[in-house]
Structure 1
Amino acid sequence: MPGPDLDTKIETYYVHVRGIVQGVGFRHHTVRRAHALGVRGWVANLDDGSVEVMVQGAANQVDLMLEWLRRGPPHARVTEFVSEERFIDKRFERFEQH
Protein backbone atom coordinates (compact mmCIF):
# COMPACT_ATOMS: atom_id res chain seq x y z
CA MET A 1 0.00 0.00 0.00
CA PRO A 2 1.64 3.28 -1.05
CA GLY A 3 2.22 6.02 1.50
CA PRO A 4 1.23 9.66 1.15
CA ASP A 5 2.71 11.51 -1.79
CA LEU A 6 5.06 14.00 -0.15
CA ASP A 7 5.10 16.14 -3.28
CA THR A 8 1.35 16.80 -3.33
CA LYS A 9 0.26 16.92 0.34
CA ILE A 10 0.08 20.58 1.42
CA GLU A 11 1.45 21.35 4.88
CA THR A 12 1.42 24.62 6.80
CA TYR A 13 3.89 25.42 9.58
CA TYR A 14 4.20 28.40 11.89
CA VAL A 15 7.81 29.11 12.87
CA HIS A 16 9.21 31.43 15.54
CA VAL A 17 12.96 32.14 15.62
CA ARG A 18 15.01 34.07 18.16
CA GLY A 19 18.63 35.15 18.23
CA ILE A 20 20.40 37.58 15.94
CA VAL A 21 17.61 37.53 13.36
CA GLN A 22 16.79 41.20 12.77
CA GLY A 23 19.03 43.64 10.96
CA VAL A 24 20.93 40.82 9.21
CA GLY A 25 18.74 40.33 6.12
CA PHE A 26 16.82 37.42 7.63
CA ARG A 27 13.47 38.34 6.04
CA HIS A 28 15.01 39.13 2.63
CA HIS A 29 16.93 35.85 2.55
CA THR A 30 13.87 33.95 3.77
CA VAL A 31 11.80 35.31 0.87
CA ARG A 32 14.54 34.36 -1.62
CA ARG A 33 14.85 30.83 -0.18
CA ALA A 34 11.06 30.38 -0.16
CA HIS A 35 10.84 31.42 -3.82
CA ALA A 36 13.69 29.05 -4.72
CA LEU A 37 11.93 26.15 -2.95
CA GLY A 38 8.46 27.06 -4.22
CA VAL A 39 6.81 27.44 -0.81
CA ARG A 40 4.23 30.09 0.02
CA GLY A 41 3.43 32.12 3.16
CA TRP A 42 5.09 35.10 4.83
CA VAL A 43 7.86 36.31 7.14
CA ALA A 44 7.67 39.19 9.63
CA ASN A 45 9.74 40.86 12.34
CA LEU A 46 8.22 41.00 15.82
CA ASP A 47 8.65 43.87 18.28
CA ASP A 48 10.67 41.68 20.66
CA GLY A 49 13.48 41.22 18.10
CA SER A 50 12.37 37.78 16.94
CA VAL A 51 10.99 36.71 13.56
CA GLU A 52 7.88 34.71 12.72
CA VAL A 53 7.31 32.76 9.53
CA MET A 54 4.34 30.95 8.02
CA VAL A 55 5.40 28.29 5.51
CA GLN A 56 3.01 26.39 3.25
CA GLY A 57 3.70 23.94 0.49
CA ALA A 58 4.40 20.33 -0.40
CA ALA A 59 5.78 18.32 2.52
CA ASN A 60 9.23 17.90 0.97
CA GLN A 61 9.54 21.62 0.20
CA VAL A 62 8.35 22.61 3.68
CA ASP A 63 10.89 20.26 5.27
CA LEU A 64 13.71 21.91 3.30
CA MET A 65 12.48 25.37 4.29
CA LEU A 66 12.26 24.44 7.98
CA GLU A 67 15.78 23.01 7.83
CA TRP A 68 17.05 26.30 6.36
CA LEU A 69 15.16 28.41 8.94
CA ARG A 70 16.92 26.53 11.78
CA ARG A 71 20.16 28.18 10.61
CA GLY A 72 19.03 31.27 8.71
CA PRO A 73 21.21 33.36 6.40
CA PRO A 74 24.99 33.73 6.88
CA HIS A 75 24.95 36.75 9.26
CA ALA A 76 22.09 35.49 11.43
CA ARG A 77 22.51 33.41 14.57
CA VAL A 78 19.40 31.41 15.43
CA THR A 79 19.42 30.51 19.13
CA GLU A 80 15.82 29.34 19.44
CA PHE A 81 13.68 27.64 16.79
CA VAL A 82 10.09 26.59 17.41
CA SER A 83 7.82 25.19 14.71
CA GLU A 84 4.32 23.80 14.85
CA GLU A 85 2.06 22.44 12.18
CA ARG A 86 -1.09 24.50 11.63
CA PHE A 87 -4.23 23.07 10.12
CA ILE A 88 -5.77 25.99 8.24
CA ASP A 89 -8.02 26.23 5.20
CA LYS A 90 -6.29 29.34 3.82
CA ARG A 91 -4.01 28.75 0.84
CA PHE A 92 -1.36 31.40 0.33
CA GLU A 93 -0.74 32.53 -3.24
CA ARG A 94 2.91 33.61 -2.82
CA PHE A 95 5.60 34.11 -0.19
CA GLU A 96 5.97 37.69 1.01
CA GLN A 97 7.72 39.84 3.55
CA HIS A 98 5.60 41.74 6.07
Structure 2
Amino acid sequence: MPGPDLDSRIETYYVHVRGVVQGVGFRHHTVRRAHALGVRGWVANLDDGSVEVMIQGSANQVDLMLEWLRRGPPHARVTEFFSEERFIEKRFERFEQH
Protein backbone atom coordinates (compact mmCIF):
# COMPACT_ATOMS: atom_id res chain seq x y z
CA MET A 1 0.00 0.00 0.00
CA PRO A 2 1.59 3.30 -1.08
CA GLY A 3 2.09 6.16 1.39
CA PRO A 4 0.37 9.53 1.18
CA ASP A 5 1.36 11.72 -1.75
CA LEU A 6 3.20 14.67 -0.25
CA ASP A 7 2.23 16.85 -3.20
CA SER A 8 -1.53 16.28 -2.82
CA ARG A 9 -2.04 17.06 0.88
CA ILE A 10 -2.41 20.79 1.60
CA GLU A 11 -0.43 22.18 4.54
CA THR A 12 -0.89 25.60 6.14
CA TYR A 13 1.86 27.32 8.14
CA TYR A 14 1.95 30.56 10.07
CA VAL A 15 5.35 32.31 10.03
CA HIS A 16 6.60 35.28 12.05
CA VAL A 17 9.95 36.91 11.25
CA ARG A 18 11.88 39.64 13.04
CA GLY A 19 15.00 41.59 12.14
CA VAL A 20 15.53 44.01 9.27
CA VAL A 21 12.37 42.90 7.49
CA GLN A 22 10.46 46.13 6.82
CA GLY A 23 11.53 48.77 4.31
CA VAL A 24 13.68 46.25 2.40
CA GLY A 25 11.09 44.82 -0.02
CA PHE A 26 10.40 41.76 2.15
CA ARG A 27 6.67 41.60 1.36
CA HIS A 28 7.17 42.24 -2.36
CA HIS A 29 9.85 39.55 -2.66
CA THR A 30 7.74 37.15 -0.58
CA VAL A 31 4.82 37.56 -2.99
CA ARG A 32 7.12 36.95 -5.98
CA ARG A 33 8.65 33.83 -4.37
CA ALA A 34 5.21 32.49 -3.40
CA HIS A 35 3.92 32.96 -6.95
CA ALA A 36 7.01 31.21 -8.38
CA LEU A 37 6.47 28.23 -6.05
CA GLY A 38 2.67 28.15 -6.44
CA VAL A 39 2.09 28.83 -2.73
CA ARG A 40 -1.11 30.56 -1.58
CA GLY A 41 -1.75 32.77 1.48
CA TRP A 42 -0.62 36.26 2.50
CA VAL A 43 2.16 38.43 3.95
CA ALA A 44 1.75 41.51 6.17
CA ASN A 45 3.84 44.00 8.14
CA LEU A 46 3.12 44.28 11.86
CA ASP A 47 3.27 47.49 13.88
CA ASP A 48 6.27 46.21 15.89
CA GLY A 49 8.48 46.10 12.76
CA SER A 50 8.12 42.36 12.18
CA VAL A 51 6.40 40.50 9.34
CA GLU A 52 3.86 37.69 9.48
CA VAL A 53 3.12 35.23 6.71
CA MET A 54 0.48 32.55 6.16
CA ILE A 55 1.47 29.98 3.56
CA GLN A 56 -0.54 27.14 2.11
CA GLY A 57 0.46 24.49 -0.39
CA SER A 58 1.84 21.00 -0.79
CA ALA A 59 4.48 19.78 1.66
CA ASN A 60 7.21 20.38 -0.92
CA GLN A 61 5.99 23.91 -1.75
CA VAL A 62 5.69 24.80 1.94
CA ASP A 63 9.17 23.43 2.73
CA LEU A 64 10.73 25.49 -0.06
CA MET A 65 8.87 28.63 1.03
CA LEU A 66 9.86 28.17 4.69
CA GLU A 67 13.49 27.71 3.66
CA TRP A 68 13.36 30.98 1.69
CA LEU A 69 11.60 32.89 4.50
CA ARG A 70 14.37 31.95 6.96
CA ARG A 71 16.72 34.13 4.87
CA GLY A 72 14.40 36.57 3.12
CA PRO A 73 15.38 38.80 0.19
CA PRO A 74 18.92 40.16 -0.31
CA HIS A 75 18.59 43.35 1.80
CA ALA A 76 16.69 41.73 4.68
CA ARG A 77 18.33 40.34 7.79
CA VAL A 78 16.17 37.77 9.57
CA THR A 79 17.23 37.48 13.22
CA GLU A 80 14.22 35.54 14.58
CA PHE A 81 12.14 32.98 12.72
CA PHE A 82 9.07 31.19 14.08
CA SER A 83 6.80 28.82 12.17
CA GLU A 84 4.03 26.45 13.14
CA GLU A 85 1.54 24.35 11.26
CA ARG A 86 -2.03 25.60 11.51
CA PHE A 87 -5.06 23.43 10.92
CA ILE A 88 -7.64 25.67 9.27
CA GLU A 89 -10.57 25.00 6.96
CA LYS A 90 -9.97 28.07 4.78
CA ARG A 91 -8.30 27.47 1.42
CA PHE A 92 -6.61 30.55 -0.02
CA GLU A 93 -7.06 31.22 -3.72
CA ARG A 94 -3.82 33.17 -4.28
CA PHE A 95 -0.94 34.80 -2.42
CA GLU A 96 -1.47 38.44 -1.44
CA GLN A 97 0.35 41.30 0.22
CA HIS A 98 -1.62 42.99 3.03
How many residues are aligned here? Answer: 98
User: TM-score, with normalisation over the residues of structure 2?
Assistant: 0.98
SS of the equivalent of 1:7 reads coil
SS of aligned partner of 1:27? helix
Measure how far apart 1:52 and its partner are: 0.0
Q: Quote the residue 1:30 is aligned against.
A: 30
SS in 2 for 1:93: coil
| CA–CA distance in structure 2, aligned partners of residues 78 and 3 of structure 1 | 36
Shift in Å at residue 33 of structure 1?
0.1
**Unmatched tracts of structure 2, length 5 or more:** none
Question: How far is the alpha carbon of 1:76 from its aligned partner?
Answer: 0.2
**Inter-partner Cα distance in structure 2 for 1:86 and 1:80:** 19
SS in 2 for 1:44: strand
Residue 35 of structure 1 and its aligned partner are, at CA, apart by 0.1
Deviation at 1:2, TM superposition (A): 2.0
TM-score, normalization: structure 1? Answer: 0.98
CA distance in 1, matches of 2:29, 2:35: 10
Query: Partners of 1:68 and 1:2 in 2: how far apart?
Result: 30
| Partner residue, 1:66 | 66
Partner of 1:42: 42
Kindly report structure 1 stretches of 4+ aligned residues shifted beyond 2 Å.
none
Separation of aligned partners in 2, 1:4 and 1:87:
18
Cα deviation 1:54-90 (Å, max 9, x = unaligned): 0000110000000000000000000000000000000
The share of aligned pairs that are identical, in percent, is 93
Structure 1: gaps (5+ residues): none
- RMSD over aligned CA atoms reads 0.5
Q: What is the CA-CA distance between 1:32 and the residue it aligns to?
A: 0.1
